[in-house]
């Protein structure tokens, strides 16, 4: 029986999503709600206690060192060592008393170890990182002259099982903790020896199925690592109620919603979870997000040759987005071995762009990076996991 469940990732995905929806419904029950303001109070996050220490705020670290019977100023020393000096072991903090360093030798900081590194000709670097429990995750550093963007993972694997996505083919293992997300950014920053400017949650996993840890990591990346919220993008295929929940946190991050289809039937073909979340309901929740936050939504649309890239699809998409404060990011498909979808040619891509522009839809085409390293969007997969055993 266990083997049957293991071989049915769609069933695991449905159970995972149903549990998330049930938890969200319970969390939304709040009998003591103020009537003095129409704006909802940002919900409180379930922050993990320290250690692991990475991802903790200065206040949390200060409280932790005080619990260790140390003076409060040790908290700031620890904070600077974690976020400014890239510390990986408490035993190496020379400003701490020698005996205390020895006592802290086994306290986990929360840093990963490098399992595999691959660099593409365009400078994009893919990292496979080994976590404390032996799981392997992926993160990607994408450099340009003016920016260094990190594509981070939010889960080990992904439960959404999108038909065109290599990561989804590998199944789902668990959520990442906040320190495991923050660690990815520090790893890239240390490898490139330059400051990270932008972060996109577009690696392995569905961020809004790991909301607490994702938002806790966003707080740390913003306040502790120093990356502006407007330089952080959260990408989601859409989980009922979760975009509304995200809006109530009043963040300045960019929300990117993966549509990938211009109608419900086609979307269900590409994204198995879509049958539980009609396209019209998803777009309505996105409109609420714009109303609550005042920030536009980016819609990601992967172009699959001969499937969703015809002019009628562009017109259909434009109708859905009429009067919407939004932007469409077109992503020409990067082929993977597991499925037979094709990348459209340049002419079809440009025709799609022109059709949207004719309907006054803001649109751009994403440049694929790191193809030689299997690091472009849709190609993130643990290709070296088999070497672990």
Q: pLDDT of 143-166, one tens digit each?
A: 999 999 999 999 999 999 888 888
User: Do residues 62 and 194 share a domain?
Assistant: no
Q: For residues 151 and 377, what is the distance between their CA atoms, to the nearest angstrom?
A: 9
* 121 located within any domain: yes
Q: For residues 178 and 181, what is the distance between their CA atoms, to the nearest angstrom?
A: 5
Q: Is 27 left (phi over 0), alpha (psi -120 to 50) or beta?
A: alpha
User: Do residues 72 and 191 share a domain?
Assistant: no
pLDDT recorded at residue 67: 93
pLDDT higher than threshold 50 for residue 382: no
Which of 73, 173, 104 lies closest to 385 in space, CA to CA? Answer: 173
246: its two tokens: 């995200």
User: Do residues 238 and 126 share a domain?
Assistant: yes
* 35 located within any domain: no
User: Do residues 194 and 263 share a domain?
Assistant: yes
User: Do residues 160 and 98 share a domain?
Assistant: no
Mean pLDDT value of segment 126-143:
95
Q: Which helix (H) or strand (E) holds 268?
A: helix 264-270
pLDDT one-digit tens code per residue, 287-325: 999 999 999 999 999 999 999 999 999 999 999 999 888
Q: Which helix (H) or strand (E) holds 363?
A: strand 363-365
What is the domain count for the chain?
A: 2
The domain containing residue 293 runs over which residues? 113-387
pLDDT higher than threshold 60 for residue 259: yes
User: Do residues 246 and 295 share a domain?
Assistant: yes
* 240 located within any domain: yes
Q: For residues 19 and 87, what is the distance between their CA atoms, to the nearest angstrom?
A: 37
Q: For residues 324 and 261, what is the distance between their CA atoms, to the nearest angstrom?
A: 17
**Confidence grade of residue 38 (pLDDT, cut at 50, 70, 90):** very low
pLDDT one-digit tens code per residue, 330-346: 999 988 777 889 999 99
Mean pLDDT value of segment 68-84:
96
Residues assigned a catalytic role:
138, 377
User: Residue 196 burial (CB < 10 Å; 0-12/13-18/19+)?
Assistant: buried
User: Do residues 93 and 122 share a domain?
Assistant: no
The residue from 36, 69, 103 where one domain ends is 103
Distances (CA, A) of 229 to 84, 221, 241, 298, 317: 19, 9, 22, 15, 29
Highest average pLDDT, of 86-100, 287-301, 369-383, comes from 287-301
* 243 located within any domain: yes
The model scores a pTM over 0.85: yes
pLDDT higher than threshold 80 for residue 358: yes
pLDDT higher than threshold 90 for residue 44: no
């Amino acid at each position: 029986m266990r083997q049957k469940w293991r071989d049915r990732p769609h069933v695991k995905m449905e159970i995972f999503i149903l549990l998330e929806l049930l938890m969200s419904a319970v969390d939304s029950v709040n009998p003591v709600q103020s009537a003095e303001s129409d704006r909802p109070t940002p919900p409180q996050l379930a922050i993990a206690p320290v250690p692991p220490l990475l991802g903790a705020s200065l206040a949390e670290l200060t409280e932790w060192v005080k619990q260790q019977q140390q003076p409060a100023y040790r908290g700031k020393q620890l904070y600077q060592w974690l976020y400014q000096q890239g510390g990986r072991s408490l035993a190496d903090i020379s400003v701490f008393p020698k005996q205390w360093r020895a006592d802290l030798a086994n306290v986990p900081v929360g840093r990963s170890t490098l399992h595999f590194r691959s660099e593409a000709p365009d400078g994009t670097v893919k990292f496979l990182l080994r976590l404390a429990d032996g799981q392997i995750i992926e993160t990607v550093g994408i450099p340009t002259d003016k920016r260094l963007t990190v594509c981070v993972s939010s889960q080990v694997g992904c439960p959404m099982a999108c038909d065109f996505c290599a990561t989804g083919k590998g199944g789902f293992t668990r959520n990442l903790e906040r320190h495991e997300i923050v660690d990815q950014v520090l790893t890239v920053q240390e490898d490139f020896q330059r400051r990270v400017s932008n972060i996109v949650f577009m690696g392995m996993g569905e961020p809004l199925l790991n909301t607490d840890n994702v938002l806790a990591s966003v707080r740390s990346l913003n306040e502790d690592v120093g990356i502006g919220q407007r330089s952080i993008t959260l990408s989601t295929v859409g989980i009922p109620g979760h975009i509304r929940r995200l809006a109530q946190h009043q963040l300045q991050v960019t929300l990117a919603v993966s549509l990938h289809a211009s109608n419900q039937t086609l979307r269900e073909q590409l994204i198995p979870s879509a049958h539980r979340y009609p396209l019209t309901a998803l777009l309505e929740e996105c409109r609420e997000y714009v109303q609550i936050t005042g920030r536009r939504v980016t819609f990601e649309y992967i172009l699959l040759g001969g499937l969703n890239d015809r002019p009628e699809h562009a017109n259909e998409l434009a109708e859905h987005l009429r009067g919407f404060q939004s932007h469409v990011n077109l992503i020409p498909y990067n082929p993977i071995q597991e499925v037979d979808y094709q990348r459209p040619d340049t002419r079809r891509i440009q025709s799609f762009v022109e059709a949207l522009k004719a309907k006054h839809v803001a649109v751009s085409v994403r440049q694929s990076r790191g193809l030689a390293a299997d690091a472009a969007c849709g190609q993130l997969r643990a290709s070296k996991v088999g070497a672990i055993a």
